């Protein structure tokens, strides 16, 4: 699928050098959720784990859909950076921050008002419902900080800086882990807050992260230096941002709602299956996170190459990055196949929970190279500004294959949570071919930004 003649070792090294900090940053962002999962599971209960899982699914659905202006902003910032047009770059960055702040505030208010209605879609036991609302009532205040942090990290990556977001994510992760322990257990002078403590710790760590991005983007002399006048909306910039971000928002809406529908399907099973599902989701997130980092690097480098009018380098960047993603997928497949029990043990010592998680984890392992190829190729196309084709491909994958197959396998064949990853394999086999053909066609090189 990846043409050998299009693989460039020098470009591959550039992708790796840019991707490594992004990979570490993504891993740390994921580790915040994983830390919550492990500590809630081991220090509280599987009911608390299921409840926090439902909350995080809704929160990240909203954030990923509505922070999609970052998709267009990365392509525009990378292109402006390649053109050395720093005035335009700062205007784009400022207005992208403004949009994220406004959306974050609106979502936080709506989530608070409609919290009971939001979670009524799930079929949960009363104990799980109680934990869900206790966790959500605090975590929702951190939504605005998530929007600012995601926007700040995206803008910095657009100018090739993947290290600063890494350092900020590292600090936030350390604070979250320490805060989780002391606030869940009531260690030393701190109150014993249980699941509310986990929520408060995560919210505070997100506040610190957002504050640091604001300082760097507004008050530090840097490649991006936003002045307060850049925050005012300019019709020309917003129009282009909307053009390249709207498809990304639709893509995320379709993808994230498919995850919510899948969560609803899983919630029809027992609490043990729900808890196992959350554990496998966390392991899956860690396993493909390096591919997300490679994808972000590919987006920045493809955008920069097109800004410099070098289509051949943009093409080679996409293929080289995709090969790295596939190689990582093969490595993770081997790890998950050889050590499935060891991957589950950090999350739980409950034998029944371990037993029900093993087979889904093995199926997840088989999916790794395919999923990584899709992730990286999507990033390369987004960096070229071809967000519309990524939207269409994603929509078709999740709603014509992934969701229907999951539903049928769970409700008509009784396959349980393993259905989710069987459905993913089938959908990726088909649509990896589709996205490869789109990238190989090079029509993205004709897109003007």
Q: What is the pLDDT at residue 242?
A: 78
Q: What is the pLDDT at residue 332?
A: 94
Centroid of chain to Cα 388: 19
Q: What is the pLDDT at residue 380?
A: 92
Q: What is the pLDDT at residue 32?
A: 66
Q: In total, how many domains does the chain have?
A: 1
Beta carbons of 260 and 277 less than 8 angstroms apart: no
Q: What is the pLDDT at residue 299?
A: 87
Question: Tokens 């729900």, residue?
Answer: 274
Q: At what angle do helices 86-113 and 235-267 cross, to 10 degrees?
A: 40
Q: Can you tell me the distance from the alpha carbon of 181 to that of 3, in angstroms, rounded to the nearest whole number?
A: 49
Shortest CA distance to 1 belongs to which of 333, 325, 312, 287?
325
Beta carbons of 441 and 384 less than 8 angstroms apart: no
Residue-by-residue pLDDT tens, the chain, 449 positions: 555 556 677 888 888 888 887 777 767 766 666 777 778 878 888 788 778 878 877 887 777 776 667 877 877 888 888 888 888 899 989 998 998 898 889 989 988 888 888 888 787 888 888 888 899 999 999 989 989 998 999 899 888 887 898 899 889 888 988 998 999 999 889 999 988 998 999 899 999 999 999 999 998 877 788 998 888 877 777 887 777 777 777 877 888 788 888 888 888 888 888 888 888 988 888 788 888 889 988 888 888 888 888 888 899 899 999 999 999 999 999 999 999 999 998 888 888 889 999 999 999 999 999 999 999 999 999 888 888 899 899 999 999 999 999 999 998 988 889 999 999 999 999 999 999 999 998 888 887 76
- pTM value is 0.71
Residue 74 zone, left/alpha/beta (φ > 0; ψ -120 to 50; rest): alpha
Q: What tokens were used for 32?
A: 């915040």
Q: Which domain holds residue 166?
A: 4-446
Beta carbons of 198 and 185 less than 8 angstroms apart: no
């Amino acid at each position: 699928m990846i043409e050998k003649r299009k693989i460039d070792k020098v470009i591959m090294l550039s992708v790796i050098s840019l991707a490594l900090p992004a990979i570490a940053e993504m891993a740390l962002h994921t580790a915040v959720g994983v830390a919550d999962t492990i500590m809630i599971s081991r220090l509280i209960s599987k009911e608390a784990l299921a409840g926090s899982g439902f909350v995080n699914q809704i929160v990240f659905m909203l954030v990923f859909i509505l922070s999609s202006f970052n998709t267009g902003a990365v392509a525009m910032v990378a292109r402006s950076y390649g053109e050395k047009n720093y005035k335009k770059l700062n205007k784009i960055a400022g207005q992208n921050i403004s949009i994220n702040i406004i959306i974050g505030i609106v979502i936080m208010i709506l989530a608070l008002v409609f919290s009971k209605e939001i979670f009524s879609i799930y079929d949960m036991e009363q104990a799980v419902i109680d934990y869900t609302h206790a966790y959500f009532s605090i975590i929702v205040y951190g939504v605005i900080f998530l929007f600012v942090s995601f926007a700040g990290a995206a803008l910095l990556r657009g100018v090739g800086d993947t290290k600063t977001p890494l350092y900020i994510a590292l600090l936030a992760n350390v604070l979250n882990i320490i805060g989780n322990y002391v606030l869940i257990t009531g260690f030393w002078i701190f109150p014993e807050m249980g699941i509310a403590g986990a929520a408060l710790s995560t919210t505070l760590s997100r506040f610190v992260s957002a504050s640091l991005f604001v300082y760097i983007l507004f008050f530090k002399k840097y490649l991006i230096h936003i002045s307060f006048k850049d925050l005012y909306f300019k019709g020309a910039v917003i129009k282009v941002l909307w053009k390249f971000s709207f498809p990304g928002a639709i893509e995320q809406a379709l993808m994230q709602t498919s995850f919510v529908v899948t969560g609803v399907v899983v919630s029809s099973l027992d609490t043990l299956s729900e808890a196992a599902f959350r554990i496998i989701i966390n392991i899956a997130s860690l396993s493909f996170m390096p591919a997300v980092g490679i994808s972000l690097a590919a987006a920045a480098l493809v955008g920069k190459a097109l800004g410099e009018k070098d289509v051949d380098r943009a093409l080679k960047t996409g293929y080289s990055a995709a090969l790295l993603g596939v190689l990582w997928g093969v490595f993770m497949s081997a790890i998950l196949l050889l050590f499935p029990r060891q991957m589950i043990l950090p999350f739980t010592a409950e034998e029944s929970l371990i037993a029900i998680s093993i087979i889904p984890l093995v199926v997840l392992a088989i999916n790794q190279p395919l999923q990584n190829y899709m992730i990286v190729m999507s990033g390369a196309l987004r960096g070229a500004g071809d967000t519309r084709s990524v939207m269409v491909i994603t929509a078709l994958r999740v709603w014509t294959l992934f969701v229907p197959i999951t539903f049928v396998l769970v409700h008509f064949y009784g396959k349980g949570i393993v259905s989710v990853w069987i459905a993913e394999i089938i959908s990726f086999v088909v649509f990896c071919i589709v996205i490869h053909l789109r990238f190989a066609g090079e029509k993205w090189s004709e897109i003007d930004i």
